[in-house]
Amino acid sequence: MKKVDSRNSGAGNKRSDKGQKSTEKQLSVKKDSAAKFSLPEKTAKSSSKQLVPAEKKEKAVSMSNDFDYSMLGVTSKKRQQQKTKQAQAKQKARAAEAKSRTRSGKPRTPLAIWIMTPIVIVAALATFYLWYLVKTGYFKETIVASMADGTTANLFVEDAFAYISTDKFFKGTIIDGIDVGGMTKEQAREAVIAAQPKSPEQVKISLSLDGKEYDLDFSNVTFEYNTDDVVNEAYSLYRLKGGEDNSTLTEYFNGVQALTVDPKEYQTAYTVKHEGVEETVKELLEKFHLEPVNASISTFDVDSRAYTIVPEKKGYNINIPATTEKVKAMLDSRNYVGTVMVEAEIISPEITEASINATFGKISSTTSKTTRNANRNNNIKKACQYMNGYILKPGKEFSFNKVVGQRTAARGFKEATVIAGGQYEQGLGGGICQVSSTLYNSVIKAGLSATERHPHAFPSTYLPMGQDATVDYPHLDFKFKNTTDGEIIIVAWWSKSDRICHVELYGKKLPDGQTVKFESKTTSKGKTPSTVEYVEDPTMKAGETEVVRTAHYACTVVSYQVWYDKDGKEIKRKKVATSNFRAYPKRVLVGTLLDNGKHAKLDTKTGKLSGLPTATPKPTKATKATTKPADGG
C-alpha cells in the first residue's frame, strides 16, 4: 500500500473542511504576530526616530514570514500571497499613524473622550441622587396611622410592622385587674395565677321548679380557672399572623395605639368539670321526673261520712341536660350565687283535692227488708260489717267473696237456711245473698256495671225480680269494677230496729244532677204450680210455720240501667242482664221442736206433725209470707 503524506494532501486529504478552516485560523493568528513583531532585534533596539525604508520593511516581513506553511496543511501559493499583502497593509497603517503623532509634537485627544466625559459626570450625579432617595426612604411604603395622642402620622410600613411584631403584651392589656403590658405570655400567666384565690368564697346555686327552690350540693365539685384561655385570648389581640395587607396593618397599629389610652380588660373565671355538674343536677332533679298523681280519698268515716284526701301531685317532664347547661353557663360567667330555672314541662293531675270536694258524695242507695230469723240476720249483719267503709280505687275490681271472705264460725257466721240446687238447706252464712243483691242494686244505680253476677234459682222477694245476685263461696261471686276516676266507698249496715239492710255508695256524682234507676221487665211467664212443699225446721217450735218460698211460675226477666236528667226525663237505657227462672211450688217451713227438746215428725205432703204430746195441731197460717234466701239461695 502506498503511504500518503498527510501534509501534502489536497482535496483527498482525510481532514474535514472544519479542520482545514481551523488550521487557517491558526495560521492567520501566527501571521499577525509575525507582522507585529517583524523588525529585526537590532532595529527594535535603535532610536525611535530612525525610520525603516519600506522595501526593508517588506524584506523584513518577508524574512519573518519565511515559514513553511505546508506543515499546517496550506499548499496554495496564492493564498500565501494574500496573507502577506494583508500583513503589509496593516504595517503601513500603523506607520502612518505613528508619523501623524510625531508631526504635532504630542498625542491628539480622541473625540470620543470629549463626548463621554459629560455623560459620565451626569450619570454619576444621577446615581448619587438615586442613592440619596433610597437612603432617605423615598421609595418605601407608608401608612397613615392614628397615634395615641389623637394625631395622625405617616409611618413606614416596615416600621409599623416592627412596632407591633413583639412577643410581649401591648401596653393597656389588663387581666384580672393586672396590667400585663410589656410582659411575655409566661410572665403574664404567672402574675395572674399568683393573684387568684384557690376557690370561690361561696357557691350557692339553687334550682327553681314550679315556684319552689332546691339547693344544689357543690361540695364535691372540682373548680378550675380558665387562665390559659384568657391569657391566650388577650395575647392574640392585634397580633399579626402573616400575609396581612396594609389596611389590616393600619387597623392593628391604630388598635395598639388606642390601648394605651383605653385599656382592654379581661377576666378569668372558674370552670367546673362537667361530670361534676351533671351528677349534681341529675341527683337533685331525678326525683322530680314523675308522672302526675291524682288526689285521692285515703280514709272515710262511715258514721260521720267525713273523709280525708291525699293531695294531688304535679308531674314533671324534666329536661336535665338543658338545665345542666344553664348551671354551667352561670358558673362560667362567675355567678356563683343565684337561681336557675329548671327546664321542665309541668303536667297537672286530672283530679285535685278541690275537684274531689266539689263532686264527691253519695251516688246511690238501696235497702231491703230481712226476716225475723236471728241467725240469718246475724249473717247479714256480719257481711255488711266486712264491706262497710271499703274503698275501691279507680280501675280496681271489687269481689264480694274476697272482701266478705269465707263464711265460717270463726269469722262470726252462723247456720241458716241456704238454697242449694233449688232446695233449702242449713249452712253457715245463710242469708248473705240478700247483702250481695242489695249491693248489686246500688252498683247499677251508681252508673257502674257488674263484671260477674249470678241469679238465684228462683226470684227472691226482698228485691224486684231480675235484680238479685247470689253468691256461694268460692264458686259463685259478685264483682264490679270502678270505672270512674275517683274512689268508690261502700257503706253497708243492718238496722236491728227495723230489720233493714242498707248499702250506700259514695264517689264522684253523676253530672248535671243525673240519676240512674234499676228497672226490670218480665218478658215471658208460665203457670204457677198449685202444690205446696212443707219443709221441717228443727229450730222452730212445733206447729209454727213460715212461708219461705211462695209458689212461682217460670219466667224470663230482663233488667235495665236507665239514666234520667234532673227533671226526671229519660236520657238513655242500657240492658243489664236477662234472668231465666224455673217454676217452683210454694214452700213452707214447719217447726218440729218440742218443749222437751225432742222433735215431732213432719208429713212433707200434708204439712201435718206427728209424735206430739197432745193432739197434733193443724198447721197455722203464717201471719206474713216471707222469703228466706241465703248463701246460694
> Could you state, in order of their start, the residue ranges of all structural domains in the chain?
22-104, 114-350, 355-610
pLDDT of residue 55: 44
**What is the longest distance spanned by two Cα atoms in the chain?**
219
Instruction: Measure the CA–CA gap between 326 and 58, rounded to whole angstroms.
Output: 119
What is the identity of the amino acid at 429?
G
Residue 613 CB: number of other CB atoms within 10 A? 11
Q: Is the dihedral of CA 270, 273, 277, 278 positive or negative?
A: positive
**Quick one: how far is CA 59 from the chain centroid?**
121
550 is written with which cell numbers? Answer: 211462695
Instruction: Measure the CA–CA gap between 396 and 389, rounded to whole angstroms.
Output: 16
Query: What stretches of 323-475 adopt beta strand conformation (E)?
Result: 337-341, 344-347, 360-369, 390-392, 397-399, 415-420, 423-428, 450-452
The neighbouring-strand residues paired with 356 are none
Angle at 333 between CA 327 and CA 339, to 5 degrees: 40
Instruction: Measure the CA–CA gap between 321 and 324, rounded to whole angstroms.
Output: 5
* Nearest Cα to Cα of residue 172 among 220, 246, 92, 237: 237
pLDDT of residue 47: 35
Instruction: Measure the CA–CA gap between 145 and 133, rounded to whole angstroms.
Output: 23
Instruction: Measure the CA–CA gap between 221 and 273, rounded to whole angstroms.
Output: 7
Instruction: Measure the CA–CA gap between 604 and 606, rounded to whole angstroms.
Output: 6
* pLDDT, averaged in runs of 10, over the chain (633 residues): 39 40 37 36 37 42 44 52 76 68 58 82 79 65 88 89 92 95 95 83 86 86 84 94 86 93 90 75 90 95 96 93 91 84 93 96 97 96 98 97 97 86 75 97 98 90 94 96 97 97 97 96 93 92 86 92 97 96 89 93 93 66 44 47
Per DSSP, 88 falls in state H
Per DSSP, 381 falls in state H
The neighbouring-strand residues paired with 146 are 152
Please, which residues have CB within 8 angstroms of residue 60's CB and are 6 or more apart in sequence? 38, 39, 40, 43, 52
Q: 337-341 and 555-564: which strand pairing?
A: unpaired
Phi, psi of 344 (to 5 degrees): -155, 150
Q: Residue 561 belongs to what H/E stretch?
A: strand 555-564
Please, which residues have CB within 8 angstroms of residue 521's CB and are 6 or more apart in sequence? 466, 557, 558, 559, 560
What is the identity of the amino acid at 169?
F
